[in-house]
Amino acid sequence: MKFRGGYNLRVKGRPSAAVEVLPEPDTLYLPLWSRRFKFAEVCVTEGERVKAGRVLARDPANFNVPLLAPRGGIVRLKAVEKHVVLENVVVAPEEPLSEADRLEHAPDKKVRNGKARHKLLVLGAWQFFSDAHTGALPDPSGQPKAVIVSTLRFEPFLARGDVQIAKRLVNFTRGLEHVQSLLEYQPIYLVLPQVKSDLAERIREAIRGYAWVNVVHVPARYPFDNPALLARHLKLKHDPKEPVWAVNADGVLAADRALTLSRPCTVRLISLGGPAVRGPKHLKTVPGYPLRKILDGRLIDPAVRVLNGGGLTDDPFAQDQLGLGAECAGITVLPELAGREFLGFMRPGADRRSYSACFLSALLPLAPLRIDTAMRGERRACVSCGFCEEVCPAGIMPHLIHKYLYRDGLEEAEAARVGLCIGCGLCSFVCPSKIELRRQMLDAQVKIRELQAEEVHS
């Protein structure tokens, strides 16, 4: 596969491969929302004592995907708004799913391996799957045209796939077998980095003889691990009737746990990184873990911005969010710098860099740099430098689409293929005029979908 664009950021604060197991908390704060889900149907009552693995809430709009209790405790629904709080948390083994559980979503007679799919759904493993093109949760009773399994995460500061797999390669390969059992004849594409490493070689050796696994090597460059980009390069066109499933290493491991042990998938391996973090590393924890307790004693700077995910594509945590969300893969902490600096637009310091060779940073060595939230300059009109087009992995021209959108030319933006934008954020990162190109592209996609929906219903 021939990729275009992309850009690797050499930044300080990348999490090491070390994994720290967080101590058990007394209280868990489980948000009733995440990036894709809204757990609107609460299934527990005030003061109820629940066991680990109990369904606390469901998302009716997403096949009743559950929010599971990661630990036992007493339910408090009124303590914190939009959260299920578990007090007096106790650690006890989760109870396996009973075979007597009623099959609610996927009857065996109509769906390939329906009971296995049901287990993935009710045990919290299905939420690791997504539609490669849209990012939405796929229908567990549907049949994909292919499955993309990625071992990679190239965005800065997110939990890396190699850390997930390193000590659980047997579980990973067994999980691949479980995923294959859900399919009929559809292929699985296993994405590995185009580098020589001991782990990559061990993975290749472990899957030797798996005729249904097609190994795909991609350059170790951001954002070549993006599912939509991978699907396009594999010639897997978007078709709502035959979606392409995408799942990362943590999802394959969750599938193994659910289908091998019949136990809920409530443990998470997340990253804690960024220039404002002391000793960035990976953390083993559970959803609902208090965010304040995660950050206490780990911050270098007192004024920080805490992002729910990586450094390029995610937003700050909501002010009212107290605990780790169900889909969180990492926490990124950046120094919050709002003050103006003398000659800041020239970027003369050794701790900052521009994609453009016009700035003094072009003379500095390519050492890892410390990024923060400061703009160091003013927003300006597009200068048509073409940097966004150079790094765009989708092969579109963000600067041209920006000009169309600036004058409300939504149809022209659609013709310029704004729909191909994968939201990687590189266009915004390299823009010397500091235009929020990524946000413009994603907002335009939303407007186009809304207009298309109105046309269908009119």
More confident residue, 373 or 47: 47
pLDDT at 106: 42
Rounded average pLDDT over 48-74:
96
pLDDT at 374: 64
* CB 226 within 8 Å of CB 244: no
pLDDT at 8: 87
Per-residue pLDDT tens digits for 125-147: 999 999 999 999 999 999 999 99
Kindly indicate the confidence band of residue 104, based on its pLDDT and cuts at 50, 70 and 90: very low
Token pair for residue 204?
A: 């290749």
Kindly indicate the confidence band of residue 156, based on its pLDDT and cuts at 50, 70 and 90: confident
pLDDT at 195: 87
Q: Are strands 244-248 and 129-131 parallel, antiparallel or unpaired?
A: antiparallel
Instruction: Report in angstroms the alpha-carbon separations of 74 from 57, 84, 142, 269.
Output: 15, 10, 37, 25
Mean of all residue pLDDT scores within the chain: 89
Residue 377 phi/psi, 5° resolution? 145, -165
E-strand stretches of 202-346: 213-218, 244-248, 268-273, 281-285, 304-308, 330-335
pLDDT at 88: 95
The H or E element that residue 450 is part of is: helix 437-457
pLDDT at 361: 60
pLDDT at 380: 81
pLDDT at 123 over 70: yes
More confident residue, 94 or 142: 142
pLDDT at 421: 96
pLDDT at 455: 82
| Per-residue DSSP letter, 49 | E
More confident residue, 97 or 7: 7
Q: Tell me which of 35-44, 51-60, 195-204, 284-293 is least confident.
A: 195-204
Distance CA 440, CA 405 (A): 8
Q: Is 454 helix (H, G, I), strand (E, B) or coil?
A: helix
pLDDT at 95 over 70: no
pLDDT at 107: 45
Distance CA 206, CA 366 (A): 37
Percent with pLDDT over 70 in the chain: 87
E-strand stretches of 32-187: 41-42, 49-50, 55-59, 65-68, 72-76, 83-90, 129-131, 146-150
Rounded average pLDDT over 392-421:
95
pLDDT at 287: 97
Per-residue pLDDT tens digits for 173-185: 999 999 999 999 9
Distance CA 135, CA 421 (A): 13
pLDDT at 364: 62
Rounded average pLDDT over 259-269:
94
Kindly indicate the confidence band of residue 201, based on its pLDDT and cuts at 50, 70 and 90: very high
pLDDT at 102 over 80: no
pLDDT at 218 over 80: yes
Residue spans of alpha helices (H) in 31-129: 114-122
Kindly indicate the confidence band of residue 103, based on its pLDDT and cuts at 50, 70 and 90: very low
**Does pTM top 0.75 for this prediction?**
yes
Per-residue pLDDT tens digits for 327-376: 999 999 998 875 555 555 554 445 556 677 665 566 666 666 667 666 66
Token pair for residue 25?
A: 């908390």
Q: Is 298 helix (H, G, I), strand (E, B) or coil?
A: coil
Kindly indicate the confidence band of residue 100, based on its pLDDT and cuts at 50, 70 and 90: very low
Rounded average pLDDT over 271-290:
95
Amino acid in the structure at residue 143:
Q
